[in-house]
A and B are shown apart, each in its own frame.
Chain A
């Protein structure tokens, strides 16, 4: 029962005459909406990357400060006042552009997130081993 496309002049003429044609060129309107959507998407992507980099960086800093505190007498306050402004500067400089996401932004976020995940995983693993085997526990 294959439908027959050939030899349908009346049907084709009817579809031609009743077919819709846009009254004006819609390209400009569509492209304006596309550009707005693209800009909005870029802003959200950049905000997501910035949040990721900030969170990842803060986790690294927190764990770093905690580690240094275990092996030296430098106070948390002193460490924080030294490293936090530096961290802020790196973030500010990297995310300074308002345009599309740059490779530096992507790299910094990836790097911080990766290190943060590794640090957190090692911390959790260490905590689990301490509970499981009791080694190094101060409660025993």
Chain B
């Protein structure tokens, strides 16, 4: 959540930009280019597309600035633009991902997944990254927004266009999916 002071300052900056002082937009670019880049990179999966999509997202935000209503924070609004831009751009090129059987997901106890993610094993990081790469772009974006950007569930819902309940369910399933992918990588002996 953004502090009220920052929200007011951002609204004042928006007012100035709309009045013709476009150079003020640099404030937003400087403040949000890294998190926006990180989100679209997570969705697009490569640096070239991420750079292009970051620029496109800021251009769209600039063009639509007059329609920004301060019902949500500026960062949430900007993330939503970046999320939609990246998801639309990668829709055509997205690879087929294998699904996981529902019964398999249901068989994983929450505690098992919790124990895995609570561990500190540096040697598991690579394996976990490979597991994350097997998630869909939407799932990776949700994971990134909630855990890495520490966005609240409400903001994640607003950004992704899902309901809050749906975000919670998806995050829950993502954890289980990651757990299963990692188990599969470890081989059958790890399931004993």
Please tell me if the beta carbons of A33 and B147 are within 8 angstroms of each other in the complex.
no
- The contact of A5 among B22, B33, B59, B146, by CB within 8 Å, is B146
B119 A35 Cβ-Cβ under 8 A: no
A 7-48 to B, binary, CB cutoff 8 A, 1 in contact else 0: 111111111111111110111011101110110000000000
Neighbouring B residues of A12 by C-beta, 8 Å = 147-148
- Contact (Cβ within 8 A) A26 B147: no
Whether A3 is near chain B, meaning CB under 8 Å from some CB there, is yes
Is A1 in the interface zone, CB < 8 Å from B?
yes
Chain B interface size, under 10 / 10 to 19 / 20 to 34 / 35 or more: 35 or more
Instruction: Let me know if B6 is at the binding interface, CB within 8 A.
Output: no
> Within 8 Å of chain A (Cβ to Cβ): is B68?
no
Is there a chain A Cβ closer than 8 Å to B124's Cβ?
yes
Kindly list chain B residues whose C-beta atoms are within 8 Å of the C-beta of A13.
122, 125
A14 and B125 CA atoms in complex are apart in Å by: 5
A15 engages B33 (CB within 8 Å):
no
* Residues in chain B near residue A17, CB distance under 8 A: 125, 129
Question: CB < 8 Å: which of B22, B114, B121, B150 contacts A4?
Answer: B114
B144 adjacent to A22 (CB under 8 Å): no
Contact, CB under 8 Å: B62 / A20 = no
Closest-CB distance, A16 to chain B (whole angstroms)? 7
Smallest beta-carbon distance B97→chain A, Å: 17
The residues of A that contact B41 with a CB separation of less than 8 Å are 19-20
Interface contact A23-B47, CB-CB below 8 Å: yes
Interface residue range, chain A: 20 to 34
Q: B64 CB to closest chain A CB, in angstroms?
A: 12
Chain A hits for B25, CB < 8 A: 31, 34
A93 interfacial by beta-carbon distance below 8 Å: no
Q: Is the CB of B20 within 8 A of A100?
A: yes
The distance in angstroms between the C-alpha atoms of A92 and B5, with both chains bound, is 46
* Pair B118/A10 contact, Cβ less than 8 Å: yes
A104 contacts B by Cβ under 8 Å? no
B33 touches A16 (CB 8 A): no
Determine whether A2 belongs to the interface, using a CB cutoff of 8 Å to chain B: yes
Q: Which listed residue (A14, A20, A30) contacts B59, Cβ 8 A? A: A30
Query: Could you tell me the distance between the alpha carbons of A5 and B145 in the complex, rounded to whole angstroms?
Result: 11
- Whether A38 pairs with B22 at a CB distance below 8 angstroms is yes
Q: What is the minimal beta-carbon distance from A24 to any residue of chain B, in angstroms? A: 8
B125 touches A10 (CB 8 A): yes
Q: Residue on A with the closest CB to B118? A: A7
Query: A102–B8 Cα gap in the complex (Å)?
Result: 28
A22 with B150: CB separation less than 8 A: no
Q: Which chain A residues lie closer than 8 Å to B147 at the CB level?
A: 5, 8, 11-12, 15
Rounded to whole angstroms, the CA-CA distance of A3 and B30 in the bound complex is: 31
* Cβ-defined contact, A9 with B120, below 8 A: yes
8 A–B contacts, CB within 8 A, in A order? A10-B118, A12-B148, A15-B147, A25-B33, A26-B55, A27-B26, A27-B30, A27-B33
Binding site for A on B (CB under 8 A): 20, 22-23, 25-26, 29-30, 33-34, 37-38, 41-42, 47, 50-51, 54-55, 58-59, 62-63, 114, 116-122, 124-125, 128-129, 132-133, 143-144, 146-148, 150, 153, 167-169, 171-172, 175, 178
